[in-house]
């Protein structure tokens, strides 16, 4: 709106009124009925938003196999990711994943619902960015910054200073899947001062690693997902293979839930700390072994 | 090609029979199985490094080498022999019992019902509590499958009745199997349908051998003992009865034998098709069409074919290894078509 010379108080008044309107608009725009239709989004929304503002999370939010924030999710009404459920919850903000629920997202956007897409991070800066973005959309930027600050502090403490020999680790998941070069897990391993067997084997992002190849590479550190529940599947049989169990008895192994490095959030620091602790343990054992063989 | 079918008795009155050519055939097949067994121990993505270590040094860490050979490759090769022999034997027996050249465990639906039984016992968690529940589930399924096909197609049914019964049983069993997998609590289960329908020996261990071998061997005992009765049966049911063979007990023996051996095989490796079809057909001319002789020969032939297919599955494509059933289907499906075309006249 072009300011007119002459009556100078009117434009100032108008500008002031606009500013007031805008400010109240922002305050009113803080979503009060947030519906999350993605399990990664569930956990981050639970971290950032106040509980009263969350209308629904997915049914997987209370499953420790998928979600890093199980306790906080209890008691919140669940949805199965379907558009009609979102409508029934009268959402004023829908938080979805980047790659899932394409039909639901499209439908909801067409109906005029605000849909926020949370990205799957492949690098640590991306994790920070996702936290920042979601916090802004929820109107909780201050909380977002505090979260990022705490995350950065823990990550720095877990970072490897470098200069010492690095152990070789492999992430082994059901069906022999592993995370290779370009994935967030790979960056975290490098951060903690650990080499990634999958990256050395040329796997980008994720892929399958045959058990024989794993054994031949003689890794120093085995990283599994957390133990599954009682429900059986052939996919887990590979992880129970006697050859792998024999190796497990000889080398350091750790369990890191898959959600810790696929969903953006502060739990990334949990994974980093776990890796750093395993690396320190290996360094000690490695030094002892070297001294023993030097003595011989 | 052995030609002693019409050999006259020798001077001392003994019949020469097809003994010497049979012994030669068995021996050459056994040698083939042994060679393929050793090749299977050496084959795999890790082939070159393994060979280098074998030829190179035995010092250093032989532990890894031993681990791979003994805990991964050896049980896999053993299972290929056990399961392959079972499939070859089962194919020969079924073709003799049903007097139908198209009978074999996967075409008539026995492998599919065995898979359903195994899936029910595995994904319900029963097999986690009691390991033998897995082969028992497979065996129960296999027995149901054989009984069903005999009831539906009858022993006198033509080839078309058998194929139709097989299609019906296969379709129903596959549908129920995918239903169970989708209802299973573990999220990975739904994706494992491919394993159960196509079969694979990847990442097997001695656990699998321990759990399946006793039942497989028991099944073999039952099936191999039915040879003479099958010879008589090939002359016709009435002739066989008049010769003193009881067909009801033969049928029962075969149902149990196939149920035990095929059921346990499918429970650990999924449903592997076409081995039981190809092997008896290829080897039948070498035993002058005698069902009893065909049994042991088909067992060895089945073991050889399965070992070869398993090696191919590991080496054919540069990516992850193929499912075993894919390789046997690539060989078997064209063979099956060829058989169908040849039998077209008797089908119409």
Average pLDDT of span B191-195: 91
Q: Which residue has the higher pLDDT, B9 or B336?
A: B336
Predicted model pTM? 0.82
Interface residue B126 vs chain A (CB under 8 A): no
Q: Do B45 and A213 count as a contact with CB atoms less than 8 A apart?
A: yes
Q: Which residue of B has its CA nearest to A240?
A: B205
Distance of alpha carbon B48 from alpha carbon A214, whole angstroms: 15
Secondary structure string (H, E, C) spanning A113-171: CCEEEECCCCCHHHHHHHHHHHHHHHCCHHHHHHHHHHHHHHHHHHCCCCCCCCCEEEE
Q: Residues 49 to 108 of A: which have CB under 8 A from any B CB?
A: 65
Chain B residues closer than 8 Å to A176 by CB: 203
Chain A residues closer than 8 Å to B64 by CB: 215-216, 218
Q: Which of A253-262, B190-199, B263-272 has the highest mean pLDDT?
A: B263-272
Q: Do B189 and A233 count as a contact with CB atoms less than 8 A apart?
A: yes
Q: Do A231 and B186 count as a contact with CB atoms less than 8 A apart?
A: yes
Average pLDDT of span B138-143: 97
Question: pLDDT at position A227, please?
Answer: 74
Interface residue B207 vs chain A (CB under 8 A): yes
Q: Which residue of B has its CA nearest to A235?
A: B188
Q: Residues 61 to 80 of B: which have CB under 8 A from any A CB?
A: 61, 64, 67-68, 71-72
A243–chain B nearest CA distance, Å: 6
Average pLDDT of span B289-301: 92
Closest among A128, A195, A127, A188 to A158, alpha carbons compared: A188
The two structure tokens encoding residue B282: 């290829």
Average pLDDT of span B43-51: 64
Interface residue A211 vs chain B (CB under 8 A): yes
Question: pLDDT at position B113, please?
Answer: 97
Q: Which residue has the higher pLDDT, B46 or B92?
A: B92
Distance of alpha carbon B302 from alpha carbon B29, whole angstroms: 10
Question: pLDDT at position B10, please?
Answer: 46
Task: Report ipTM for this prediction.
Answer: 0.76
Average pLDDT of span B302-327: 91
Q: What is the pLDDT of residues A15-38, one digit of tens each?
A: 555 655 555 444 456 899 999 999
Q: What percent of chain B has pLDDT over 70?
A: 87
Chain B residues closer than 8 Å to A218 by CB: 61, 64
Q: Which residue of A has its CA nearest to B119?
A: A233
Interface residue B122 vs chain A (CB under 8 A): yes
Distance of alpha carbon B192 from alpha carbon B202, whole angstroms: 13
Q: What is the pLDDT of residues B217-258, one digit of tens each?
A: 999 999 999 988 999 988 888 888 898 888 889 999 999 999
Q: Which residue has the higher pLDDT, B270 or B7?
A: B270
Interface residue B325 vs chain A (CB under 8 A): no
Q: What is the pLDDT of residues B160-188, one digit of tens each?
A: 888 899 999 999 999 999 999 999 988 88
User: What mean pLDDT is reported for chain B?
Assistant: 87
Interface residue A168 vs chain B (CB under 8 A): no
Interface residue B156 vs chain A (CB under 8 A): no
Interface residue A241 vs chain B (CB under 8 A): yes
pLDDT at residue B334 above 60? Answer: yes
The two structure tokens encoding residue A10: 């009117």
Confidence category of residue B309, pLDDT binned at 50, 70, 90? very high
Are B215 and B141 in contact by the 8 Å Cβ rule? The answer is: no
Interface residue B17 vs chain A (CB under 8 A): no
Q: Do B205 and A216 count as a contact with CB atoms less than 8 A apart?
A: no
pLDDT under 50 in chain A at which residues?
A: 1-6, 24-27
Question: pLDDT at position B155, please?
Answer: 64
* Partner-chain residue, chosen from B46, B122, B203, that has the shortest CB–CB distance to A232: B122
Residue A36 per-residue DSSP state? E
Cα radius of gyration (chain A): 24
Question: pLDDT at position A27, please?
Answer: 46
Interface residue A238 vs chain B (CB under 8 A): yes
Q: Do A232 and B67 count as a contact with CB atoms less than 8 A apart?
A: no
A18–chain B nearest CA distance, Å: 53
Q: What is the pLDDT of residues B60-117, one digit of tens each?
A: 456 777 888 888 899 999 999 999 999 999 999 999 988 888 899 999 999 999 999 9
Chain B residues closer than 8 Å to A210 by CB: 44-46, 320-321
The two structure tokens encoding residue A126: 């991306």
């Amino acid at each position: 709106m072009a300011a007119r010379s002459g009556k100078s108080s009117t434009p100032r008044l108008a500008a002031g009124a606009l500013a007031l309107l805008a400010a109240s608009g922002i305050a009113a725009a803080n979503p009060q009925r947030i519906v999350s239709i993605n399990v990664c989004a569930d956990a981050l929304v639970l971290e950032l938003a106040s509980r009263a503002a969350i209308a629904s999370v997915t049914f997987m939010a209370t499953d420790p196999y998928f979600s890093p924030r199980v306790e906080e999710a209890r008691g919140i009404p669940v949805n199965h990711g379907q558009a009609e459920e979102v409508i029934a919850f009268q959402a004023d903000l829908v938080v979805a994943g980047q790659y899932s629920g394409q039909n639901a997202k499209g439908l909801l956007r067409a109906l005029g619902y605000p849909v926020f897409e949370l990205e799957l991070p492949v690098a640590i800066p991306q994790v920070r960015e996702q936290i920042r973005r979601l916090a802004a959309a929820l109107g909780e930027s201050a909380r977002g910054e505090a979260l990022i600050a705490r995350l950065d502090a823990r990550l720095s403490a877990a970072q490897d200073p470098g200069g010492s020999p690095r152990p070789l680790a492999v992430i082994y998941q059901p069906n022999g899947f592993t995370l290779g070069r370009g994935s967030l897990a790979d960056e975290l391993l490098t951060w903690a001062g650990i080499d990634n067997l999958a990256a050395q084997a040329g796997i980008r992002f994720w892929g399958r690693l045959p058990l024989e190849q794993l054994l031949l590479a003689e890794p120093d550190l085995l990283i599994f997902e957390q133990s599954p529940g009682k429900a059986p599947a052939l996919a887990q049989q590979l992880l129970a293979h006697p050859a792998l169990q024999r190796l497990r008895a000889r080398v350091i192994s750790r369990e890191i839930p898959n959600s810790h490095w696929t969903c953006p959030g502060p739990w990334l620091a949990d994974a980093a700390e776990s890796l750093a602790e395993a690396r320190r343990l290996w360094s000690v054992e490695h030094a002892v072994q070297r001294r023993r063989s030097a003595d011989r | 090609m052995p030609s002693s079918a019409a050999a006259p008795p020798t001077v001392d009155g003994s019949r020469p029979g097809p003994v010497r050519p049979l012994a030669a055939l068995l021996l050459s097949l056994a040698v083939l199985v042994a060679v393929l067994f050793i090749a299977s121990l050496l084959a795999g993505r890790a082939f070159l490094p393994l060979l280098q270590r074998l030829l190179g040094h035995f010092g250093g860490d032989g532990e890894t080498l031993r681990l791979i050979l003994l805990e991964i490759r050896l049980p896999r090769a053993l299972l290929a022999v056990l399961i392959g022999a079972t499939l070859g034997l089962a194919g020969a027996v079924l073709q003799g019992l049903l007097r139908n050249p198209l009978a074999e465990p996967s075409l008539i639906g026995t492998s599919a019902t065995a898979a359903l039984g195994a899936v029910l016992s595995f994904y319900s968690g029963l097999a986690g509590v009691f390991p033998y529940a897995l082969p028992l589930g497979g065996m129960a399924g296999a027995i149901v499958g054989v009984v069903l096909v005999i009831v539906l197609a009858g022993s006198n049914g033509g080839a078309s009745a058998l194929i139709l019964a097989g299609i019906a049983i296969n379709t129903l069993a596959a549908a129920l199997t995918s239903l169970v997998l989708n209802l299973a609590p573990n999220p990975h289960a739904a994706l494992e349908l491919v394993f159960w329908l196509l079969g694979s020996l990847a990442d097997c261990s001695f656990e699998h051998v321990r759990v399946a071998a006793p039942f497989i061997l028991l099944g073999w005992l039952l099936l191999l003992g039915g040879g003479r009765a099958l010879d008589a049966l090939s002359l016709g049911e009435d002739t066989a009865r008049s010769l003193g063979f009881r067909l009801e007990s033969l049928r029962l023996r075969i149902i149990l034998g196939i149920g035990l051996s095929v059921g346990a095989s499918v429970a650990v490796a999924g449903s592997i098709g076409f081995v039981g079809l190809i092997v008896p057909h290829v080897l039948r001319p070498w035993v002058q069409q005698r069902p009893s002789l065909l049994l042991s020969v088909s067992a060895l032939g089945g073991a050889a074919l399965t070992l070869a297919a398993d090696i191919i599955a590991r080496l054919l494509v540069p990516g992850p290894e193929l499912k075993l059933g894919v390789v046997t289907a690539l060989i078997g499906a064209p063979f099956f078509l060829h058989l169908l075309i040849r039998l077209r006249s008797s089908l119409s």
